[in-house]
Copies of this chain bind each other. A is one copy, B any other.
Amino acid sequence: MNEFALIDKIKKKIPKNLQGPLGIGDDAGGLKAPKGHEIVWTVDAMVEGIDFLRVEKSKKRLGALSPEQAGRKALAINLSDLAAMGAKPLGCVVSLGIPPNMPEKWVLRFYDGLITFAKQYKTACVGGDITSAPKFFASVSLAGSAPAKSLVRRSGAKPGHGIAVTGALGGSLRGSHASFTPRIEEACFLAQSFKPSAMIDISDGLLQDLGHILESSKAGAEIEMGEIPISKDAARMANRNPMKAVERACTDGEDFELLFTVPASNKQKLTKVWQRKFPEVPLSWIGRVEKQKGVRWTFKGRKIRAPQFKRLGFQHFR
């Protein structure tokens, strides 16, 4: 594989209108935000053998990704992060580590997946870097923007606020981790029309990511177990054991759904508008923020003992 020939082939894949304000081919790429917007940016990496298994074609094997799926996901996990801030994507830079024995074709197909997805979300691909590595990795850094007043942080949840989650959770390994749609449209709508007090995307698992919000907001929560939305895949993997299904929904991770908080007074109106605007995306009110730190549980409104899950959520090191 020739490094510069490969870079050249990748460049040719990227449409001119997706090369950012400076085009591709300098030491750095350009970035321009609409007037009055703040720029936010994030980075997220995927490593072969750790975050996914590399296969030639999409297979039923759990955690396996085709090159196109891997490229799509490398961008999608970052789009999901931006969504959680209420921001729209502007452009990305892509850093790849490529094993010496990897066919160039795999890399090009990875880019096909990434670029197809970038087009869909009007995300420029303004630059990148290629190095050699023992296992394939892709580290995508994505920048986006939002009007300053509609940026949503993790830190604004207040006692009494309702806690909501989009979609259904758990079992993402069966497929949704590779094919999920980042909730950009939903998040921007929320940010502009209801300004959540805190928001995060669920990548580590509902409980762990709720923990991130509560820690940033210096608060606790009460969670109603009966309201946690359980995906079909989680139910199937739990083999009809309801507690196992709840556990999956709470801790599997890679759901890439939105978890957010809003003042209780907004719940009713938001529910109504949401059903009209996003009829295919469930919205579940799973609890409320409390002053007392930690998480307490209810089931059908009655206090219950906190369930003992094997783990809180996904961690890269144990």
Contacts and interface: CB of A to CB of B under 8 A. Distances in A.
Interface of A: 1-4, 6, 21-22, 25-33, 38-47, 49-51, 81-82, 84-85, 87, 93-98, 100, 126-135, 137, 139, 141, 143-144, 151, 153-155, 200-201, 216, 315-317
A37 to B, nearest CB: 11
Contacts of A93: 41-43, 141
B95 A139 contact: yes
Report copies per complex: 2
Contacts of A40: 22, 26, 28-31
Contacts of A1: 317
Contact of A141 (B95, B134, B316): B95
B315 A126 contact: no
A33 to B, nearest CB: 8
A195 to B, nearest CB: 15
B127 A42 contact: yes
Given A4-B315, A316-B3, A44 B144 contact: no
A51 to B, nearest CB: 6
A251 B243 CA distance: 63
Contact of A82 (B22, B28, B42, B129): B28
B3 A155 contact: no
For the complex of A and B, the 9 pairs showing the least CB-CB separation, nearest first, are A141-B141, A28-B42, A28-B40, A139-B139, A27-B84, A95-B139, A31-B39, A43-B93, A27-B81
